[in-house]
Amino acid sequence: MTHTARYAAAVESAIDKLHQEGRYRTFIDIERHRGQFPRALWRKPDGSTKEIVVWCGNDYLGMGQHPVVLAAMHEALEATGAGSGGTRNISGTTVYHKRLEAELADLHRKEAALVFTSAYIANDATLSTLPKLLPGLIIYSDELNHASMIEGIRRNGGAKRIFRHNDVAHLRELLEADDPAAPKLIAFESIYSMDGDFGPIEAICDLAVEFDALTYIDEVHAVGMYGPRGAGVAERDGLMGRIDIINGTLAKAYGVMGGYIASSAKMCDAIRSYAPGFIFTTSLPPAVAAGAAASVRHLKTDQERRDKQQLHARILKTRLKAMGLPIIDHGSHIVPVIVGDPVHCKQISDMLLEDFSIYVQPINFPTVPRGTERLRFTPSPVHDPKMLDGLIRAMDNLWSHCALNRAELSA
């Protein structure tokens, strides 16, 4: 075997492994149509096209086509050009970035906010930097935290403790076992996006006070969606002031791109100054920052859009449950239907797309544990009743066709 062939064989065998386990990922090429979300055009591998309805997007509120957002982006693009032209430190800080950060600080009623190129980077950069600022820091992390938090915590070289998902008794045990004088931080999410369950925010804040720990919450799936101004679940529950660092995205409910943390002025200043993931990368294009700011501003008052999204999620869950489909229902906007097998999950997803023009991506390991493979539906205010009827009919049909279990798993 030649030198090159040896490496090629290793790479191929890694890919083969995914095929064998039925979890090789196939990207579906879609062209979204502004003004017609959630409709899109599927560009098939054979070159043909098909009109489809997207049911698995994270543009939860359809803000990616909102005229207010588009106008702000057009305006900034015309005014200032395409890219930012630099890192935040070297010519890449514009009025658009500053306005966006002011909008976010106001949203979360914090002294400051810091924008990153994504929430993944915001989590990774912040959590990997904190031990530099707080020597000896111990991070307590929910076992189901997002990969970006896990990665940040893993790389920081500091001490970490993993508590069982949403298990505050276990968290307490871990806190009690450590030196009371050690600096501590509890990292968790407000909504876990694959099951759609909520984190126990108040109980964690109580423990943080008792053990003198900082709190770090990922509200990525909640910002724009919950709370009277769309600041997330902590705002809805009157707990936002008790969280030290809030992480959010501008790419899901806000429909654009980018991520951030909101915190004290000093914390943001320190992360700004020490986090490589913030310092050594080009800042967001000004038009993106302008669109995101417009979206955040708009959703501070558009409660109707939030209500409609919640209504559509409730209707979809009620109808799927009525057919006996195994859905998980924790009362959030996310609608997971468990298939429990990667091959079946992919088959159903393929059939939905080919035969019913419904696009829902199969969710497999490692995104979810093996045996809990699922279809994750994200109804939005821009899905209409006809689309909903079409989805229900298709799911009923396929569940019978594939002889799948109709026992309910709901919480």
Ligand X SMILES: Cc1ncc(COP(=O)(O)O)c(C=O)c1O
Which residues of the shown chain bind ligand X in the complex (CB under 6 A)? Answer: 118-120, 123, 146, 148, 189, 193, 218, 220-221, 249, 251, 259
Please state the closest distance from residue 392 (CB atom) to ligand X, in A: 27
Shortest spacing between CB 55 and ligand X, in angstroms: 17
The CA distances from residue 382 to 31, 120, 323, 351, 398, in Å, are 17, 27, 24, 23, 25
3-class state of residue 321 by DSSP = helix
One-character DSSP codes across 339-364: ---HHHHHHHHHHHHHHH-EE--EE-
362, β-bridge pairs: 375
Query: Residue 32 and residue 53: Cα distance in Å, rounded?
Result: 10
Instruction: Identify which of residues 146 and 346 has a Cβ nearer to ligand X in the complex.
Output: 146
Any catalytic annotation for residue 44?
no
CB of 291 to ligand X, least distance (A): 14
In this structure, how many other beta carbons lie within 10 angstroms of the beta carbon of residue 175? Answer: 23
Q: Is 208 helix (H, G, I), strand (E, B) or coil?
A: helix
DSSP string, 55-113: -S-S-TT-GGG-HHHHHHHHHHHHHH-SS--SBTTTT---HHHHHHHHHHHHHTT-SEE
Nearer to ligand X (CB atom), residue 255 or residue 259: 259
Place of tokens 């770090």: 216
Nearest to 304 by CA among 32, 66, 36: 66
Q: How far is the CB of 47 from ligand X (least distance, A)?
A: 30
Q: Kindly list the distances between the CA atom of residue 364 and the CA atoms of 25, 70, 371, 375, 400, in Å, as whole numbers in the listed order.
A: 9, 34, 9, 9, 22
CB of 294 to ligand X, least distance (A): 18
Cβ closer to ligand X: 184 or 221?
221
What ranges in 357-404 are assigned the alpha helix state H? Answer: 385-401
Cα 49 to Cα 289: distance, rounded to the nearest angstrom: 33
Q: Is 189 exposed, middle or buried (0-12, 13-18, 19+ CB in 10 A)?
A: buried
Active-site residue (options: 110, 160, 184, 252): 252
Q: Which is nearer to ligand X, 119 or 391 (CB)?
A: 119
Shortest reach from residue 80's CB to ligand X, in Å: 23
Dist CA 274 CA 87 (whole Å): 14
Q: Please state the closest distance from residue 187 (CB atom) to ligand X, in A.
A: 11
CB atoms near residue 177 (< 10 Å): 8
C-beta closer to ligand X: residue 94 or 190: 190
Q: Which is nearer to ligand X, 189 or 302 (CB)?
A: 189
DSSP 22-48: T----PPPEEE-TTSTTEEEEE-TTS-
For ligand X, the closer of residues 189 and 373 by Cβ is 189
CA dihedral 95, 133, 182, 201 (to 10 degrees): 20
Could you give the residue numbers annotated as active site? 252
